[in-house]
Structure 1
């Protein structure tokens, strides 16, 4: 049987070492899953994740020039989509959103002018706040 990189195979764990696990593949070949390719979390002890004789799905990630087969269990896992939070996130502050909603009828130049004014206003506000904080520190 011809093994191809990127393919997922069913295998059986035949041995466990400190640095990885050996897996028997179809066709009588075997490969190694490095400790970093076992799980998506930190793996200190491989025996917490695998046992000898366990059936596993592995992805063939490389065959080196010496013919060694490198496998990955974590890359064979289905991708999990990040869960969306129930609370909607605000992508921009409310004053900026309201300004953008009001300016939808304006030309690009006018929108740019409004943006620059709002930006300069926010910068001056943050500078004033920083100066107030630093003057309080000096007065100690």
Structure 2
């Protein structure tokens, strides 16, 4: 697979899989409305959010550059990806997604994102 095709495939997979889990579902549950928590605690949410996003993007880049493929099962890599964070963690994408969602939960002051229920959180009126 050529790098350009791998980059396009990885970008599509990034938008579909992690994009759904780390962006669409939290938006559906919270509507990006912030709750009322101590501002410093909410501000700490930036750290895992940004760190998780950086790790997630770097793993997708590694699939294109090192593996010549995508993380999607329909277009697997030609070479096993073993560099970068893959030397230390079996699947850094999962760790990154959890960090992004935890960061959103802190930033938005929404414990619902830590432990989702079947229906969205309802604020007392």
TM-score (norm 1): 0.26
Q: Which has the higher contact order (CA 8 A, sep 6+)?
A: 2
Bigger radius of gyration, 1 or 2?
A: 1
Higher strand content, 1 or 2: 1
Structure 2 length as normaliser, TM-score? 0.29
The structure in which a higher percent of residues are helix is: 2
